[in-house]
């Protein structure tokens, strides 16, 4: 989401919280709530969440940037096109696979992004 979040994440890792999903979520939440993330970015992310009623299943920092994981049901698969078009970031990879529960229309979708200001391998 930008340089500020990258700094926050670096700080979180410096506190021994490397890739702890809860720490990442909390750090991002603090950055969003304290207006350190631009209005433009927030409107874009919130627009995606609102349009498709997405639930953020998980966030992680991986060698390729920030990974956002979403659960999409059949009617929400149209969200994929939007998820691939991230302002200020590049969608690097999308994995869609059955989540392993007996609901064929439910897929576990993982979208991997690169964001400006967040170097790979962070």
| Binding region for other proteins (CB under 8 A) out of 4-12, 53-61, 85-93, 106-114 | 53-61
Show the site string, 26-45: x = touches other proteins by CB under 8 A, - = not. Answer: x-xxx-xxxx-x-x--xx-x
Q: Which residues of 21-35 are buried (b: 16+ CB within 10 A; e: fewer)?
A: eebbeebbeebbeee
Q: How far apart are CA 44 and CA 99, in angstroms?
A: 27
Residue 45, SS3 per DSSP = helix
Q: Is 46 in the site for other proteins (CB under 8 A)?
A: yes
Q: Is 94 in the site for other proteins (CB under 8 A)?
A: no
Q: How far apart are CA 102 and CA 45, in angstroms?
A: 30
Task: Give the residue with the Cβ less far from other proteins, 34 or 85.
Answer: 34
Q: Which residues bind other proteins (CB under 8 A)?
A: 22, 25-26, 28-30, 32-35, 37, 39, 42-43, 45-47, 49-53, 55-56, 59
């Amino acid at each position: 989401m930008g340089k500020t979040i990258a700094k926050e994440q670096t700080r979180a890792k410096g506190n021994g919280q490397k890739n702890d999903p809860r720490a990442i979520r909390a750090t991002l939440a603090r950055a969003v709530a304290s207006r350190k993330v631009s209005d433009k970015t927030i409107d874009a992310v919130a627009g995606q969440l609102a349009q498709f009623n997405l639930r953020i299943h998980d966030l992680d920092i991986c060698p390729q940037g920030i990974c956002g994981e979403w659960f999409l049901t059949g009617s929400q698969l149209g969200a994929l096109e939007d998820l691939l078009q991230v302002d200020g970031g590049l969608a690097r990879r999308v994995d869609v696979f059955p989540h392993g529960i007996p609901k064929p229309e439910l897929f576990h979708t993982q979208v991997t992004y690169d964001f400006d200001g967040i170097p790979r391998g962070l």
